[in-house]
Amino acid sequence: MTTTGDGALLHAEDLRKAYGPTPALDGASFTIRAGEVVAVMGPSGSGKSTLLHALAGIIRTDSGRIVYGDRELSAMSDSERSALRRSDFGFVFQFGQLVPELTCLENVALPLRLGGVPRRTATERAGQWLDRLEVGDVAGKRPGQVSGGQGQRIAVARALVTTPRIIFADEPTGALDSLNGERVMQLFTDAARQSGAAVILVTHEARVAAYSDREIVVRDGRTRDDRLAAQQ
Amino acid sequence: MSISQIFLALLEEQPRHGYDLKRAYDEHLGADRPLAYGQVYSTLARLLKNGLVEVTGVEPGEGPDRKRYAITDAGVTDVDRWLRSPEKPEPYLQSTLYSKVVLALLTGRPANEVLDTQRAAHLRLMRELTRRKAGGDLADMLICDHALFHLEADLRWLELTAARLDDLTKAVRP
């Protein structure tokens, strides 16, 4: 994987997206380097989740350009973007979105199985990630039988198991109390840093953003990058 | 912070020399601000004068003689009263930051930049404290959490003020 000329792993330029007459993104730009943890902050309705979904290739923007490594995400077909999401990206959402019928271990092994990894290897690697996130003891339970904090750690394990280059996290601790939220953030950012994955973390909570390396603020669909501000 | 009452509480736990008191304070409560020796001995002299502590032994040392201090009954009463009294909640009504925002608006400067610059500075410190917390013990965690919650409260105010800037501009410059 190569990066763009300025060392960026993912670079977005002048993204615009409107839902009806309301602009959700109104000229947003964004850059993330390999291994970096960046918090995307802003008030409710500022466009931060839309930005995250656009960067991850989940939604298409009306205009603007997104470049991942040497590939233009904004020019890819839906199936190409979908394949890229499976191979290179990981996701953590506010409510883990685990498959309720599968055990926690099977949930974590699922992305590997979908990628063609043999069952035994997938299970072994999933077990290692559960241990690393300190939830190995609930491997055989179903998501409905574990606490919210444990569920989010399992979601983090599932996001990291494929060793993605970028993890997109949308309010990953939004449903947790502060003690559990902090434990999840500590384990999450430690594990991501050790595995070299970059993290794009959408949050409205400063205490969660404090686990990042820097932040980008979204207001009215526009972004303000502190790294750029610091260079001015 | 009341050094006198802290010393009394430490002496209630066990009698100590001045140096032991300083060490216990620095270790458990000092955070980044260790006590100066001058303050240790001036505080002990005051407590002694007020009958809240007494000298229970003097040991010769290389330098001056080492006195061992113990708490008196009056000292126990004093520390008990202090621990049971609530600290006065800080009303935070005199905010430099609020003044800066209003003055920026009054003088036609971009108040949002004042808010953004402050927000970035607050978050920088929050990152630093979060890292320190991760590498520290339970005492570090509690001290850093206290600071983090206060900084977070400031940040919420900054966000709210940013959202109300248009209204504030109209109020300041009608």
Q: Within this chain, do residues B72 and B105 fall inside the same structural domain, yes or no?
A: no
Q: ipTM of this complex > 0.85?
A: no
Quickly state the pLDDT bin for A74 (edges 50, 70, 90): confident
Residue B91 lies in a domain: no
- B50/B115 same-domain check: no
The reply to whether B80 and B112 lie within a common domain is no
Domains along the sequence of chain A with CATH: 8-231 (3.40.50.300)
Q: Edge-to-edge, what's the strand order for the sheet holding A222-225? A: A89-92, A166-170, A198-202, A37-41, A214-219, A222-225
* Edge-first strand listing for the sheet containing A22-33: A22-33, A8-19, A63-68, A71-72
Looking at the structure, do residues B47 and B106 belong to the same domain, yes or no?
A: no
Asked if residue B105 belongs to a domain, the reply is yes
Nearest to A212 by CA among A167, A148, A150, A159: A167
Q: Give the domain-ending residue among B29, B57, B84.
A: B84
- Indicate the Cα dihedral angle A42, A46, A50, A56, nearest 10°: -20
Give the pLDDT of residue A232: 46
Domain CATH number, residue B78: 1.10.10.10
In DSSP terms, B63 is beta-bridged to none
Same-domain status, B46 and B109: no
Interface test with A, best of B113, B114, B119 (most A CBs within 10 A): B119
- Tell whether B140 is covered by a domain: yes
Cα separation, A52 vs A39, whole angstroms? 11
Average pLDDT of B122-139? 92
Question: CA nearest A206 in B: which residue?
Answer: B152
Instruction: Select from A207, A226, A228 the residue whose CB has the most chain B CBs within 10 Å, as the one to mutate to test that interface.
Output: A207
Spell out which residues of chain B touch residue A186, defining contact as CB-CB under 8 Å: 134
Token pair 């904004």 is at which residue? A74
Would you place residue A227 in the very low, low, confident or very high pLDDT band (cuts 50, 70, 90)?
A: low
Residue B167's domain spans which residues? 96-172
Judged by CB atoms within 8 Å, which residues 100-129 of B form the interface with A?
116, 119-120, 122-123, 126-127, 129
A177-221 confidence digits (pLDDT tens): 888 888 889 989 998 898 889 999 999 889 999 999 999 988 888
Are both B102 and B143 inside the same structural domain?
yes
Q: Are residues B72 and B122 in the same domain?
A: no
- Token pair of A71, please? 């590939």
